[in-house]
Amino acid sequence: MKILIVDDDRANRLILSAYLKKDGYTVVAAENGLEAIGVFQSEGPDLILMDVMMPVMDGYEATRRIKMMTVDKFIPIIFLTAMTDEKALSQCVEVGGDDFLTKPYNRTILKAKIDALERVSQLYNTVFQQKRELISHYEHEAKEQEVARKVFDSILNPGCLSSDNIQLHLSPMSLFNGDVVLAAVKPTGGLHILFGDFTGHGLAASLGALPLSDVFYSMTAKGYSISDIVRESNHKLKQQLPTGMFLAACLVEIDTNNMVLKYWNGAIPGAFLHKGDSIVDLKSKNLPLGILGDSVFSDKVDIIEIHDRDRIILTTDGILEAENSDGKMFGLERFEACLHYDLKVASDNLTINSLPADDSPPSELDADLFQHILDTLDDFTLEQEQTDDVTLGVITCDINYINQLASQKGAYKKFVPTHWKFDLYFFYDSIKSIDPVPLVNQIMGEIQGHQIQQDHLSTVLTEMFCNSLDHGLLELDSSLKSTPEGFMQFYSDKESRLNGLESGSILISVSNAPNDTGGELTIVFEDSGKGFDVKKMQNEMSSVDKDTPIKFSGRGLSLINNYCQSVTYNDSGNRIECVYSWLNNDI
């Protein structure tokens, strides 16, 4: 520890210096205040003993200046004084002195004071250090959150939340929101909206929004229904969220083709359809998403007829549970009263002004409702601290606008069954590394939309591919599969032969012939293998009845037979052709 002695009296410096050196301190000295500042800067002492009355610059001024130079570090200053009057002592404190030592010096007291201040300064400097670290952590964290939020927002908002017919109020309690609102235009026209509230709030609660938005946007874009989306969302959240975390959610589809509203509500308390002259409660009939297993989960949607400019009002429990200064909650009753208030205004308007003109801006009345709810809430809670995410959405079923939206976004694309054909060759090395079935499925989806991507077709393709690979290229013997041991042998042979495959290819050819209900696919798998005895196989297949023992093989071909219109083989058995009919639900 290094101590700076500031005293104009040589004898005093000598005595103090001797005392301090005896106790093991390093000592530096200055003869007046100005010199002290210079020595302080060059030597960086840990503690200063400061005389008061000195020529050039006195101890008060030097102390004031040194304290100003050390705002982020604690350097104790002990005043050396023979003075006893209170005014002088209080001036020592005022300029930042930490203690006094009166002359004549007592070595024991000097040592005790230095020790005490050393402990204080360690404590201070630890606190300063922690404060610096905290500030730097906080700044780092804030930067990271900012970046994360940008990423987050861009993931959550590729849809049409900013559309004119959607009014949205989101007031997150923290940077991230436990509430999630997603909206996207359907490829066939119409709008999907998801309104959700994760358990908890903040970062942890918002993480689940990522897989959810992925499912919502990609499935909507592919034309899936809200039933499918809600089922898949539940599946994914159940799989990915920890137990105890789930999502209260309401999914809504505005079907502008049939003028109906389809909805699935799982535990969202405030979901209403405002029909202008009446209000329908879109009641929750389900548990939140992410709780039930697939088999017990219900994706059943309810359907209500709608008219142009009906409005859907959605809110999470944040509004309903908002408290005023008396600890009373806003509650569902007040919320519903807001809706009825608007109902009255609307009908007054109708009686006074007759029907509003068709080309009047659609948002005028709706803005009233949206704003009215928020104003009523503000009047109720006044300055009370917000305790949960408050989210409110009012969506106007403006049919023209929604249809326009779909065509603007280029999302509106009705898939009409057309003529097409593609051939894909897979050689031995690519067969080892890729599964052609999803690829073929994807290509068909790109050409013909999701309507063609059906589970049965997927099964047919998989079984046809396995057949060509197992019996064509790999020359595996199905009869192996007649015993349990052989069954295992079959698959381990399959693995080793596939690894050792050094030649051969499979051609996959798919063509579509459109018809009134959809289309007829002709699917051909042709392999470069030796083929097999077709007649023998067909005889075996037809002889399977109740009397023959159950075989472990041959099910692939019977699945194909079951799902296809026709199945034919060439004589050498290396080419199989199936005809598969598919229905286009868009028609």
Partner 1 sequence: MLVDIDTLNELKEIMGDDFDELIAIFISDGNTQVENLRLAVSTSNSEDIRRIAHTLKGSSANLGINTLSESCRVLEHKAAEDSLEDAQELLEQIISNYEAAKEALEEKF
Partner 2 sequence: MSVSCSVNGNIVNISVSGRFDFGSHKDFREAYRNAPSGSDNEYIIDLSATEYIDSSALGMMLLLREHAGGDQSHVTIKECRKEVKDILVVSNFDKLFNIT
> What does the binding site for partner 2 look like in residue numbers (CB under 8 A)?
293-296, 455-456, 458-459, 462-463, 466, 481, 484, 487-488, 491, 494, 550, 552-553, 555-556, 558-559, 562-563
Residue 399 main-chain phi, psi, to 5 deg: -60, -50
- Provide the 3-class DSSP secondary structure of residue 486: helix
User: Of all helices (H) and strands (E), which one includes residue 86?
Assistant: helix 86-94
Contacting residue, 1, 18, 127, 135, with partner 1 by CB under 8 A: 18
Residue 549 main-chain phi, psi, to 5 deg: -60, 150
By CB under 8 A, which span of 18-26, 121-129, 268-276, 563-571 interacts with partner 1? Answer: 18-26
Minimum distance between the CB of residue 104 and partner 1, rounded to whole angstroms? 4
Minimum distance between the CB of residue 111 and partner 1, rounded to whole angstroms? 12
Q: Which does 68 bind (CB under 5 to 8 A by kind): partner 2, partner 1, none?
A: none
Other Cβ atoms closer than 10 A to 486? 16
By CB under 8 A, which span of 3-11, 127-135, 303-311, 333-341 interacts with partner 1? Answer: 3-11
Q: Which does 103 bind (CB under 5 to 8 A by kind): partner 1, partner 2, none?
A: partner 1
User: Which is nearer to partner 2, 425 or 491 (by Cβ)?
Assistant: 491
Minimum distance between the CB of residue 462 and partner 2, rounded to whole angstroms? 5
Minimum distance between the CB of residue 417 and partner 2, rounded to whole angstroms? 23
Contacting residue, 100, 105, 420, 532, with partner 1 by CB under 8 A: 105
Q: Answer yes or no whether residue 22 interacts with partner 1 by CB under 8 A.
A: yes
Q: Which does 494 bind (CB under 5 to 8 A by kind): partner 1, partner 2, none?
A: partner 2
Q: Give the span between the Cα atoms of 449 and 209, in whole angstroms.
A: 27
Tell me which residues in 34-93 interact with partner 1 (CB under 8 A): 53, 82
Minimum distance between the CB of residue 7 and partner 1, rounded to whole angstroms? 9
Contacts of residue 108, defined as CB under 8 A and 6 or more positions apart, other chains included, come to: none
CA distances from 249 to 194, 246, 286, 567, 586 (A): 7, 9, 9, 46, 28
Q: Give the span between the Cα atoms of 429 and 515, in whole angstroms.
A: 38
Q: Which does 11 bind (CB under 5 to 8 A by kind): partner 1, partner 2, none?
A: partner 1
CA distances from 282 to 251, 267, 303 (A): 11, 11, 10
Q: Which does 10 bind (CB under 5 to 8 A by kind): partner 1, partner 2, none?
A: partner 1
Minimum distance between the CB of residue 295 and partner 2, rounded to whole angstroms? 4
CA-wise closest residue to 149 among 100, 205, 206, 91: 206
Residue 522 main-chain phi, psi, to 5 deg: -110, 115
Q: Answer yes or no whether residue 421 interacts with partner 1 by CB under 8 A.
A: no
Q: Which does 244 bind (CB under 5 to 8 A by kind): partner 2, partner 1, none?
A: none
Q: Which does 107 bind (CB under 5 to 8 A by kind): partner 1, partner 2, none?
A: partner 1
User: Which is nearer to partner 2, 154 or 243 (by Cβ)?
Assistant: 243
Contacts of residue 478, defined as CB under 8 A and 6 or more positions apart, other chains included, come to: 470, 471, 490, 553, 554
Q: Which does 341 bind (CB under 5 to 8 A by kind): partner 1, partner 2, none?
A: none
Contacting residue, 64, 107, 236, 238, with partner 1 by CB under 8 A: 107
Q: Which does 455 bind (CB under 5 to 8 A by kind): partner 2, partner 1, none?
A: partner 2
Q: Give the span between the Cα atoms of 580 and 587, in whole angstroms.
A: 18
Minimum distance between the CB of residue 451 and partner 2, rounded to whole angstroms? 16
By CB under 8 A, which span of 102-110, 151-159, 200-208, 550-558 interacts with partner 1? Answer: 102-110
Q: Give the span between the Cα atoms of 546 and 257, in whole angstroms.
A: 51
Contacts of residue 477, defined as CB under 8 A and 6 or more positions apart, other chains included, come to: 490
User: Which is nearer to partner 2, 279 or 559 (by Cβ)?
Assistant: 559
**In sequence order, what DSSP letters do the residues of 154-208 get, joined into one string?**
HHH-SSSTTSTTEEEEEE-SSSS-SEEEEEEE-TTS-EEEEEEEESS-SHHHHHT
Minimum distance between the CB of residue 22 and partner 1, rounded to whole angstroms? 5
User: Which is nearer to partner 1, 14 or 134 (by Cβ)?
Assistant: 14
Residue 68, token pair as written in the block: 């100003």
CA-wise closest residue to 436 among 523, 508, 492, 485: 508
Buried b (16+ CB within 10 A) or exposed e, 272-301: bbbbbeebbebebebbbbbbbeeeebebeb
Contacting residue, 1, 2, 10, 138, with partner 1 by CB under 8 A: 10
Q: Which does 463 bind (CB under 5 to 8 A by kind): partner 2, partner 1, none?
A: partner 2
Q: Answer yes or no whether residue 14 interacts with partner 1 by CB under 8 A.
A: yes
**How many CA atoms lie within 13 Å of 277's alpha carbon, on the beta-carbon side?**
6
Residue 15, token pair as written in the block: 């005595």
Size of the site for partner 1 (CB under 8 A): 16
- Provide the 3-class DSSP secondary structure of residue 269: coil
- Provide the 3-class DSSP secondary structure of residue 560: helix
Contacting residue, 24, 104, 293, 484, with partner 1 by CB under 8 A: 104
User: Which is nearer to partner 2, 308 or 540 (by Cβ)?
Assistant: 540
By CB under 8 A, which span of 6-14, 60-68, 379-387, 501-509 interacts with partner 1? Answer: 6-14
Beta sheet of 166-171, edge-to-edge order:
166-171, 390-396, 311-315, 270-274, 279-281
Q: Which does 53 bind (CB under 5 to 8 A by kind): partner 1, partner 2, none?
A: partner 1
Q: Which residues bind partner 1 (CB under 8 A)?
A: 8-12, 14-15, 18-19, 22, 53, 82, 103-105, 107
